[in-house]
Amino acid sequence: PDDTYSARKEMNDEDMLAVLEKCYSVIHGRKTSTTSSMGSNTPSDNHPIGHSNDLLQKYMKRHIFESIRNCLTRLDHNLYDIIWPTVKKLPDDRNCRLSLNQDFPVGIVAPDFYVYKVFRNLLEPIIKAYNNIAQHTELREHPESRQVARSENGIEDNTETNDIEFDLDPNKKWVISGCIECTRNLDDHELPKSLSVNQLENIERILTSIFMSEDVGRALFPRANEDEIGGTGTYYTMNEILEEPSDIRNMLDSRNLLIPLWNIPDSERLHGKYWPYGRGVFVSNAGNLAAWINVLDHLRIVTCTPETKPGNVGQIYSRLSRLMDVIDSKLYFKKDFNFGFLSARPTVLGNTLQFNFIVKLTQLVKEPENLQHLCSVRGLNYHKVHVSDLVRLSNQQTVGITEIQSFDDFTTAVANIIQLEKDLEMSNTIHIAAMFVNIFKRKKTPLIT
């Protein structure tokens, strides 16, 4: 009677049970390859498998699989609805692979909030591993949000105009760009894919009214007076974003504010029946913040560093903190006692802050395995981008820690990586200089006649 999460019945679809059995075999026995299309529910032996999917392989042991393969959530979602990004054929293009890596790096998705209870035997070990939390550690209550550090007397500095002054790269030599994301879902609604047209419209209306408010204007432009603010930004529907060509989509992409939209065949598995209706994006007047509405999650905010100060992580963290203070004061969001704020992406839980910075590491990328290790022990995810010496660094842990701790951990780790790059560069410079000195010395040696 206390179970409000499951369907209270077992799945008896023999065809789906057979598919799940094939999925188990695929996850535990295939080789890495690529795919070309997005087909039926039949799992593909040609789906790429990487670090993330290794976590699914590691923690979906046979006894775990047996205990959950018949389970259904109260919205009738089953195990396949969670693991399909790992086993389903997907379009074989670079954008799709990047989107998969960005949104579902462990190859799993949450089709509803109830999976975090019904399939906890599978999800909790994966979430712990992704967040660098030891498996034997018992998860405690996720801490309350704390955006700023406390002073010595324990008082938080919530001054509206107060910015954290921290630039990872004041000389603009290593950091190319940076952004931070934050995700929220309203407490009294299901995820967008399960909503009706009226419910999508209602969430869209609630969130856009907040983003157009004076409170948000003061959060985004804390040093401007009422006359100078003159509105907060513009809301664009998803149809305006998806049209070809779309100037607003190109602008968002150029400023690192564009998120994966998953406008692909069979997108109903992610978006539900009514895509792209009831979705859109609010863009601030300054063009440095975008709030995506009803795209996988109810709210996904992205804010970026300026081109003039690409390493200024303190500025964008402060902007996001002021904004979230306003939003959190007006709405209640879906939370789990242990996992914190919930989302459709099981790697975006807890405080949900996602730091993503593109950094030039000319020396360190020469030894990619060493760089991977250097990042991993510092709690960073590391991904190569299309330019040979550029990498994307992002934080791993969001569960069990506050926002300000995520900020401190990420900035300390990236600053350390940049310092290692500087040291290598200096070492190579000294080595090259010494070589030239030796060459010139040899040239000056008199010939023996």
Q: What is the pLDDT of residue 329?
A: 95
Span 404-416, mean pLDDT?
98
Q: Is 387 assigned to a binding site? A: yes
Q: Is 293 assigned to a binding site? A: no
Q: Is 33 assigned to a binding site? A: no
Q: Which fold has domain 175-237+265-421?
A: Creatine Kinase; Chain A, domain 2 (3.30.590)
The model's pLDDT over 241-281, given as tens digits with 9 standing for 90+, comes to 999 999 999 999 999 999 999 988 778 999 999 999 999 99
The model's pLDDT over 330-348, given as tens digits with 9 standing for 90+, comes to 999 999 999 999 999 999 9
Q: Is 144 assigned to a binding site? A: no
Domain boundaries, the chain: 14-130, 175-237+265-421
Outline where 30-175 has alpha helix (H).
51-59, 62-68, 80-87, 94-103, 115-118, 120-130
Q: What is the pLDDT of residue 386?
A: 80
State what percent of residues in the chain have pLDDT above 70.
Answer: 86
Q: Is 388 assigned to a binding site? A: yes
Q: Is 181 assigned to a binding site? A: yes
**End-to-end C-alpha distance for the chain, whole angstroms:** 104
Q: Is 355 assigned to a binding site? A: yes
Q: Is 204 assigned to a binding site? A: no
Q: Is 366 assigned to a binding site? A: no
Q: Inform me whether the pLDDT recorded for 124 exceeds 80.
A: yes
The model's pLDDT over 195-232, given as tens digits with 9 standing for 90+, comes to 999 999 999 999 999 999 999 999 999 888 776 667 79
Q: What confidence tier does 33 reach under pLDDT thresholds 50, 70, 90?
A: very low
Orientation of helix 313-330 relative to helix 197-211, angle to 10°: 120
Q: What is the pLDDT of residue 30?
A: 56
Per-residue tokens: 25: 């075999």
Distance CA 415, CA 173 (A): 13
Sequence-ordered strand ranges (E) for 5-61: none
Q: What is the pLDDT of residue 110?
A: 98
Q: Is 309 assigned to a binding site? A: no
Span 313-322, mean pLDDT?
97
Q: What is the pLDDT of residue 147?
A: 87
Q: Are 115 and 192 in contact (CB under 8 A)?
A: no
Q: What is the pLDDT of residue 154?
A: 52
Using CB atoms within 10 Å of the CB of residue 11, give its burial: 0 to 12 exposed, 13 to 18 middle, 19+ buried: middle
Q: Is 383 assigned to a binding site? A: yes
Judged by DSSP in three states, 270 sits in: helix
Q: What is the pLDDT of residue 150?
A: 54
Distance CA 422, CA 241 (A): 41
Q: Is 283 assigned to a binding site? A: no
Please, what sign has the CA dihedral across residues 397, 268, 279, 288? positive
> Residue 381: which H helix or E strand, with range?
strand 380-384
Q: What is the pLDDT of residue 424?
A: 93
Q: Is 282 assigned to a binding site? A: no
Q: What is the pLDDT of residue 345?
A: 98
Q: What is the pLDDT of residue 434?
A: 59
Instruction: Tell me, yes or no, if the two domains 14-130 and 175-237+265-421 fold the same way.
Output: no
Q: Is 248 assigned to a binding site? A: no
State what percent of residues in the chain have pLDDT above 90.
Answer: 73
Q: Inform me whether the pLDDT recorded for 156 exceeds 60.
A: no
φ, ψ of residue 150 to 5 degrees: the values are: -90, 145
Q: Inform me whether the pLDDT recorded for 49 exceeds 50.
A: no
Q: Which CATH architecture has domain 14-130?
A: Orthogonal Bundle (1.10)
Q: What is the pLDDT of residue 35?
A: 32
